[in-house]
Amino acid sequence: MIIDCHGHYTTAPEPHNVFRNAQKAHFKDPSAPAPLYPAISDDEIRESVEKNQLRLIRERGADMTVFSPRASTMAHHIGDERVSQDWTRACNDLIARVVGLFPESFIGVCQLPQSPGVPIAHSIAELRRCVGMGFVGCNLNPDPSGGHWTAPPLTDRAWYPFYEAMVELDVPAMVHVSGSCNTNFHATGAHYINADTTAFMQFLEGDLFADFPSLRFIIPHGGGAVPYHWGRYRGLADMLKKPNLREHVMRNVWFDTCVYHQPGIDLLFEVIDIDNILFGSEMIGAVRGIDPETGHFFDDTRRYIDALAISDADKRKVFELNARRVYPRLDASLKARGL
Amino acid sequence: MIIDCHGHYTTAPEPHNVFRNAQKAHFKDPSAPAPLYPAISDDEIRESVEKNQLRLIRERGADMTVFSPRASTMAHHIGDERVSQDWTRACNDLIARVVGLFPESFIGVCQLPQSPGVPIAHSIAELRRCVGMGFVGCNLNPDPSGGHWTAPPLTDRAWYPFYEAMVELDVPAMVHVSGSCNTNFHATGAHYINADTTAFMQFLEGDLFADFPSLRFIIPHGGGAVPYHWGRYRGLADMLKKPNLREHVMRNVWFDTCVYHQPGIDLLFEVIDIDNILFGSEMIGAVRGIDPETGHFFDDTRRYIDALAISDADKRKVFELNARRVYPRLDASLKARGL
């Protein structure tokens, strides 16, 4: 079975986006009408998914996608905590409906109602609500400011109340920033990749997993710059007098395969242990075109993995078994269906 | 001949550092004495270099190192413009002395007296002064705030006056940030690599080289995350309706080889044109230890290149000819010596 750990609902029905725009307008100018969330029919949701993600899932041959709200529009920096709470709830409810309509193809991961300067503890209730709806993980934004990086590092105790909830609920987090309001950082070309690299280095510099031995993070986009600079990180761990990375970080951190060319995937599998790699594509995401060098979609990452000279047992780890370990609630859900 | 394009004077004599600390103390508390730059003897400089960089250059077999002040202590975010001007002048003068003592082994690249919010035009005089002393390039900090990223992107017209001077003087810039005062970013483990990735994406998103066809940048540390995510960047260029990267960015941008393990170097050479790669080691820099997996120093990057299955002609490009194209003043200086 093939589990894609990294899918976002980038094709949500238009009324959902219209609501968001009205919400932003109302925040800017409270005399503008406060929007009510629109009625969106099952058919609209079905169409938005069947024509897009589901079509590609079938074409490319995946079975289950771990599905979360569109990352770039989480935009925790827009509005205030109330705006973030309302928007997050709407986004997660929509994911729940997709999962309800296509339970064999999707399982939910939630957005969190983060907001700059607001304690992360305020996001626990939404995590619990979503887990109650069958979600199996969350996307945690290390920079709710959207490119100004005003929050403390992920190893800071300020994050601990949320980690305690993650451990209690036995759910992992994907470290995933959202859009950037800093003109220095293109969202998908700089901010995303920088955040991945930054999070890894924070874990390396800190000692978070001594405090939370069962806490689990997925660092997406192939771990940012980390595998390419694996020698640098091994060397820095040594200079900072940390244990080797396998012990110190990689018991608790996984990288996905959202690396959109064969040489990058080759490197990822060369330097990172097979047990730390999860299949992911983030399809209909950052890079939607066809690679003129291959004639295939850049984000059709399954092709790159299929082209690797690795054993079937290793492929099964990357496509299925690792994900079932990282997301125990996904594993339980599959087992309940006899899968 | 082997030219290392990326060396910093990380081993400057202690009085130089004492001056810096006194300068910072005086800025914090103007009642503290304003320091005078100390007398540093030629012997002190000789010793600081001979025991360190020069010893390793000899052991590893390089000929010429493009040498600049220590990057992490440029610290443009500390003090104000006056502090940055004074410190920068002192750092560049020290480089000039190293070059004067070892002209066969070092050639200078200057630090700039950048300061957050201060127009980059204020750095032109120091660039001219250093070029007048025989320097062949500069290190340009895209984030003088030290991790808060408050400056405009490198493609913004605010930078243009400086680019005009670079073009007039025919010198390239290495895009190089300094230390980080943002706790999110470890300097050498996150901030450096993020800045490299960010600069590349700014060049991709913008159209700077249409305005400055002869402007040249070195993006250090192997181009940050870029080669690992080369498919992503090719795909983003396509989505942003830009020409292909070879035309759009890579006529004006070079990556160095400061990637501290063989698989990373293999990837760099697989995806980036040989004409765009400059040999660099940044030795006695970010990662100073010995790789237990190889028994050699992580930053002995010549070994990784020697291990590549590339032609001697290609090796010569990476070790020498590309650098002579990117730094015409280095080329002229070598030619004047019959090299």
Confidence of residue A306 (pLDDT cuts 50, 70, 90): very high
Chains A, B: CB contacts within 8 A come to: 201
CA A157 centroid distance within chain: 22
Nearest-Cα residue of chain B relative to residue A151: B184
**Rounded distance, CA B6 to CA B11, Å?**
15
Q: Are B144 and B77 in contact (CB under 8 A)?
A: yes
The pLDDT assigned to A143 comes to 98
A282 catalytic? Reply is yes
pLDDT (average), residues B29-37: 94
pLDDT (average), residues B75-103: 98
ipTM of model = 0.98
Which residues of B are marked as active site? 282
Residue percentage of chain A with pLDDT more than 70: 100
CB-based contact (8 Å) between B247 and chain A?
A: no
- B184/A190 CB distance under 8 A: no
> pTM for this one?
0.98
Residue percentage of chain B with pLDDT more than 90: 99
Confidence of residue A51 (pLDDT cuts 50, 70, 90): very high
What own/partner pairs with CB < 8 Å and gap ≥ 24 does A335-339 have?
A339/A1
Sequence-ordered list of residues with C-beta below 8 angstroms from that of A145, at least 6 positions apart, any chain: A76, A77, A116, A151, A181
CB-based contact (8 Å) between B151 and chain A?
A: yes
**Rounded distance, CA B285 to CA B274, Å?**
25
Q: What share of chain A is helix, strand, coil (3-state, %, to 5)?
A: 50, 10, 40
pLDDT (average), residues B75-82: 98
The pLDDT assigned to A8 comes to 97
pLDDT (average), residues A20-32: 96
pLDDT (average), residues A1-12: 97
**Rounded distance, CA A77 to CA A178, Å?**
9
The pLDDT assigned to B241 comes to 97
Chain B CB contacts of A202 below 8 Å: 184, 186, 190
Q: Cα-flanking dihedrals φ and ψ of residue A151, to 5°?
A: -80, 160
CB-based contact (8 Å) between A213 and chain B?
A: no
Residue percentage of chain B with pLDDT more than 70: 100
Shortest alpha-carbon distance between residue A236 and chain B (Å):
6
Q: Cα-flanking dihedrals φ and ψ of residue B187, to 5°?
A: -55, -65
Chain B CB contacts of A143 below 8 Å: 184
pLDDT (average), residues B196-219: 98
Question: Which stretches of B142-289 are assigned E, i.e. beta strand?
Answer: 173-175, 217-219, 253-256, 277-278
The pLDDT assigned to A288 comes to 94
Chain A CB contacts of B259 below 8 Å: 228-229, 231-232
Question: Quick one: A100 exposed, middle or buried, by C-beta within 10 A (0-12, 13-18, 19+)?
Answer: middle
- A259/B148 CB distance under 8 A: no
Chain A CB contacts of B227 below 8 Å: 228
**Rounded distance, CA B199 to CA B205, Å?**
10
CB-based contact (8 Å) between A147 and chain B?
A: yes
**Rounded distance, CA B304 to CA B291, Å?**
13
The pLDDT assigned to B60 comes to 94
Q: Which amino acid is at B212?
A: F
Candidates B225, B228, B289; nearest CB to A238: B289
